[in-house]
Amino acid sequence: MMYSSRRKPVLYFKEDRRFLPWKCSVVKLFGLCMVLVLAAPTADDPSWGPHKMALLIPFRERFEELLVFVPYMHAFLNKKKIRHKIFVINQMDHYRFNRASLINVGFLESGNDTDYIAMHDVDLLPLNDALDYGFPEQGPFHVASPDLHPLYHYKTYVGGILLLTKQHYHMCNGMSNRFWGWGREDDEFYRRLRTAGLQLYRPSGITTGYKTFRHIHDPAWRKRDQKRVAAQKQEQFKMDPEGGLTNLRYKVESRQDLTISGAPCTVLSIKLECDQSQTPWCLLS
């Protein structure tokens, strides 16, 4: 006899033989689920650090790009354990596009639970996981550096993607509101950084060069408004020492929480105001 009498009887019925492995795998499956739930990156995890970014997208009529951008960035930042909230600052007035004013609005409307901003073009996707999107404690951090941006390679370029602590953005009085139409507002902001005595930082050790970002921008389809109306020709190169957060004028027409393929964002629809005696070029005609 193989079995000693002291030994507990082994379950030996046909039904049990079928039942046991099943029960076993339910328990295992449950265990596996628990492990996955606990191991999945969540923003409650203290290893994500204390900081939270307000990702500000200056926006008008780039719907297809937005549908790609929001889910992509949400996943990218989660992977990097960057707490974040995405704001789409949608310009809905009938003036020319004003990227800088929209970033100012985003800064003021982004709430107290975020302590740094990323001004972020909707059409630039970071492809390299090694890019730093963390709290830019030391000074403004230019993610889309001229060594990496596919188009802009001059050394004072600060456009595309720039991270700043809210304190540093405030020290600059934000961006100038005088730039209507495409361009130059970022170059003016470079001078504000200098004036505020802030040191600019850029990524180092990134080996992907001009392939670091995907720029979803067909210039024939998404035309840049490069018209220069009257005095704008000269004014575009001037610094605006007075204006910024302090003379910004706007209305929030709506605030809507959206999810795009499961990724959350808040759309702020904004009517900017324009003082036509100051910047008559906010209109084209």
Which residues form the interface with ligand UDP (CB under 6 A)?
57-62, 97, 99, 121-123, 159, 182, 217, 224
- Please identify the residue of the shown chain whose CB is closest to the bound Mn ion: 217
- Measured from the CB atom, the residue of 55 and 248 that comes closer to ligand UDP is 55
Torsion of CA 224, 253, 244, 88, to 10 degrees: -50
Instruction: Determine the interface stretch with Mn ion among 7-15, 58-66, 158-166, 212-220 (rule: CB under 5 A).
Output: 212-220
Residue number with the smallest Cβ distance to ligand UDP: 121
Spatial contact of 140 and 63, defined as CB atoms under 8 Å apart: no
122 binds, among ligand UDP, Mn ion, none (CB under 5 to 8 A by kind): ligand UDP
The distance of closest approach from Cβ of residue 23 to ligand UDP in the complex, given in angstroms and rounded to an integer, is 55
Q: Which residue has the tokens 């800088």?
A: 100
Query: Which one of residues 52, 56, 84, 123 is an interface residue with Mn ion (CB under 5 A)?
Result: 123
Residue number with CB closer to Mn ion (123 or 186) = 123
Nearest to 214 by CA among 126, 145, 152, 122: 126
Q: Which is nearer to ligand UDP, 61 or 64 (CB)?
A: 61
CA angle 65, 66, 68 (to 5 degrees): 70
Q: Does 240 bind Mn ion (CB under 5 A)?
A: no
Count, residues near Mn ion per rule CB under 5 A: 2
Rg (CA), the chain: 26
Stretch that binds Mn ion, among 16-24, 69-77, 123-131, 247-255 (CB under 5 A): 123-131
Dihedrals phi, psi of 6, to nearest 5 degrees: -75, -20
Q: One-letter amino acid identity for 171? A: M
User: Who's near 125: CB < 8 A, 6+ residues apart?
Assistant: 68, 69, 72, 73, 213, 214, 216
The minimum distance between CB 176 and ligand UDP, in angstroms, equals 16
Residues that bind Mn ion (CB under 5 A): 123, 217
